[in-house]
Amino acid sequence: MQEILFKSDDLLVMNLINYFVTEENYNPMIIHGLNDEIWLENLDGDYKIIRIVSHHIHNKEQLDFDKFKLGKIVKQVKKKTFSFKVNVLSIYTDIENEKLLSDDDIYIKKEEDINNPKLTNIFPNIVNKTRHNEKGIEYFVKVTNSINAKNEARGREAERIFSYKVPFITYGIMAICILLFIAMYLFGKGSEDTGTLLSFGANLDVLVKDGEFYRLFTCIFLHIGIWHLICNMYSLYVIGKEIESLYGKIKYLIIFVGSGICGSLLSMTFTHNTVSAGASGAIFGLLGSLLYFGYYYRAYLGNSIKRSILPVIVFNLIIGFMSTSIDNTAHIGGLVGGILLSMMVGVPGKGSKRDNINGTILTILYILFISYMAFK
């Protein structure tokens, strides 16, 4: 029978990978052109990247070249992930002179070296979690199974978040908008008649200040003219079903309605004695929500943020500033509201309770501020 031999540093690297993947939620990164290096990323961690280097470092010149390559790759990671700072922890397993290493470098030659203050200060449970009694192939199989189980769990979670769900809430909102649009012609003088719009609940600052607060909500579902309706319903169909699928129906409804009300309030601040209506403030809130979601998943959606989400937001804001008939203040109010509300309700599979609390506080402060500006 042929025996399979494992070098001690092979098992050491496997042990470290297993710990960071299964206990600290790091994900493997694919870096082309590198040999004997494992890159792991967790954009929410103290160190966004952990790099395990197992090739032999002979001297300072080779280490300097290693750092040069590291800097080049980190610049690319920053661009892709919209990160101003990317902390990297480099773990070397084979270096001629340990004294050459910097503060963000760690030398671990054998598993006993894992009990290193530089490492345990960041990951207090690493020593206990990396202890094992298995040897050789037995431990290799255990680690492989553990990593595979973690990856399968991540795959199921990703499938749950990104899989298609029927957007009943989006369809319901669209139906309400369309039915109200038709009703304004059946029971009034049409969607472009001021009296009809006001009777159906359009926004007008003097009436809201007089106590008709419901208009901040009802105006979201009214539209002025057929093209206004078509543009907003198309945008809602494209963006709304994505947000509903990603965040879930309850969170989506909170973001949509809350963003719409934020847009109505900011509109009151800068627009006076003008009847306004439309779902565009709420739709911009959904764009802000998509931007916030993309930030948390920027390792995967970084290119989409740069090529799709941000250009759409900027393009629509520019059009709004160029057109006197578009209430761009409602768009901005909804956009900011959507980002803050998304922080409050939380991104599925990401974020923390601290983010939710901060988002709730910021959302309340934002609504209080724009309400004060609107009603002063």
As annotated, the active-site residues are: 280, 331
Alpha carbon distance 56, 204 (integer Å): 72
Alpha carbon distance 348, 246 (integer Å): 7
What residue type is assigned to position 262 of the chain? C
The string of DSSP codes covering 328-373 is HHHHHHHHHHHHHHHHHH--TTS--HHHHHHHHHHHHHHHHHHHHH
Nearest CA-CA partner of 40 in 22, 67, 56? 22
Helix (H, G, I), strand (E, B) or coil at 276: strand
Q: Which helix (H) or strand (E) holds 254?
A: helix 249-270
Helix (H, G, I), strand (E, B) or coil at 317: helix
Is the distance from CB of 240 to CB of 256 less than 8 angstroms? yes
Nearest CA-CA partner of 337 in 370, 314, 310? 370
Helix (H, G, I), strand (E, B) or coil at 121: coil
